[in-house]
Structure 1
Amino acid sequence: MENVEEYILSEAKKLFMKFGMRSVTMDDIAKHLGMSKKTIYANFKDKNELVNQLFSKILQHDKCNMEQCSYKSENAIEEVFLMMNFFKEMLAGINPIVFYDLEKYHNEAYKAMMNFHQTHVYNSIKTGLERGIKEKVFRENINTDILATARVGQINWVFESDLIRSGKYSIYDVMNELTMHYLFGICTLSGHILINNYQIKKNN
């Protein structure tokens, strides 16, 4: 059985992802867990520390999954499709208000997420672009630094967009739409064929 700290993080995550961080109190977490607040405070100084540790674990998990997508994929385009599948699973059931609450009330965790995007996500995208050029599925004249930087900016915009926060669209729907636009813009003809094949496979 997982230790107490891991159990608290796991169960608190369920509440945070469903209701957002601001509306969930330490009392709510204690009630959900069926334990005293004293036990929670014995493991975490306050709610902010709990959120910080939770997002540290989430980002580490994301890093491992991104590396797996790269390792398992047959080519750079399949890597993007595997990433989107992971993204869809990760975001399932997450209330968009989580990212607003993170930015407004838990700045340390928010900065950690932004730093993760600027470093690991950027490097992963740039490496994927370079891979695609070598595989001749991405155009050889693209600027990988500019595109990787723009892609990270695009991802950050999605989390902050009113399209998401208003509830008009899901995070995945917006990201998927932008990803397809991104892919078709950088692909060679053989890359376009692969995209169509993966889309057909995905829809069947």
Structure 2
Amino acid sequence: MTKVSLVLQSILDMDNVEEYILEEAEKLFMKYGTRSITMDDIAKQLGMSKKTIYANFKDKDELVTKLIIKMMQHDECSMEERTIQSENAVQEIFLMMDFLKEMLSNINPVIFYDLEKYHNKAYKIMMDFHQTHIYEHVKICLDRGIKENVFREDINTEILSQARVAQINWIFESDLIRSGKHSLYEVIQELSIHFLFGICTLSGHILINNYTNKVKQTI
């Protein structure tokens, strides 16, 4: 048995075959989108037969759906980490932008078009995640900022949380992204800074400028 076969066998002997398949499929989907990647491509990437893949996933649609669920769970944990790490609500949003920059740097925007057109269940899961988890996260952040006196106390957190979610959904569906004219992070950063300046107090504005300068120094 070759070295490669031994490595593959050790993976197959483990209980996380499904996890391994998802990790390798994710690399292909994020780079090329889902439509152009076949189960044969995934099998080749994994170095295993399609039979093994179909033993874990009914079809490509189920594979994509489980991958999106896995990614949403990871995003939720990452958002919680940034909240804990942040010193204030303004920094929390900047840390979120850092996370998005890292996450989106290896994603081909075509993936979002593919999800909407060819994987309705997975796309709905992503949109539902925005409407629930991201909405709650934004609202908690806004309430925190008001208590810290970095966000204006007269803002309506419910309205602005819904507006922020709608803004995020628009980004993923925008032709600005799908045409390749602008990167996902570029659009998110521009809208996030605009959003912050609209809700911040004078103290918050000072923090925005401080964090913006720090970002520029690292570029």
TM-score range, shorter chain: over 0.9
SS class of match (1:43) = coil
Instruction: Report the equivalent of 1:70.
Output: 83
- Deviations 1:18-46 (Å, cap 9, x if unpaired)? 00001100001001111100010011110
TM-score, normalised relative to structure 2: 0.92
Instruction: Report the equivalent of 2:25.
Output: 12
Over the aligned positions, Cα root-mean-square deviation in angstroms equals 0.8
Measured in 1, the distance between the counterparts of 2:190 and 2:94 equals 12
Instruction: Report the equivalent of 2:71.
Output: 58
Alignment partner of 1:153 is 2:166: yes
TM-score, normalised relative to structure 1: 0.98
Identity, % of aligned pairs? 70
Alignment partner of 1:26 is 2:13: no
Measured in 1, the distance between the counterparts of 2:37 and 2:186 equals 27
Measured in 1, the distance between the counterparts of 2:37 and 2:139 equals 38
Instruction: Report the equivalent of 1:166.
Output: 179
* Segments of 4+ moved more than 4 angstroms: none
Residue 24 of structure 2 aligns to which amino acid in structure 1?
Answer: E
Instruction: Report the equivalent of 1:123.
Output: 136
Instruction: Report the equivalent of 1:42.
Output: 55
Residue 7 of structure 1 aligns to which amino acid in structure 2?
Answer: Y
Gaps of 5+ in 1: none
- Deviations 1:121-176 (Å, cap 9, x if unpaired)? 00000000000000000000000000000000000000000000000000100010
Instruction: Report the equivalent of 2:94.
Output: 81
Match among 188, 193, 199 for residue 206 of structure 2: 193
Gaps of 5+ in 2: 1-10
Report the structure number with the largest CA radius of gyration.
Answer: 2
Measured in 1, the distance between the counterparts of 2:105 and 2:151 equals 30
SS class of match (1:44) = coil
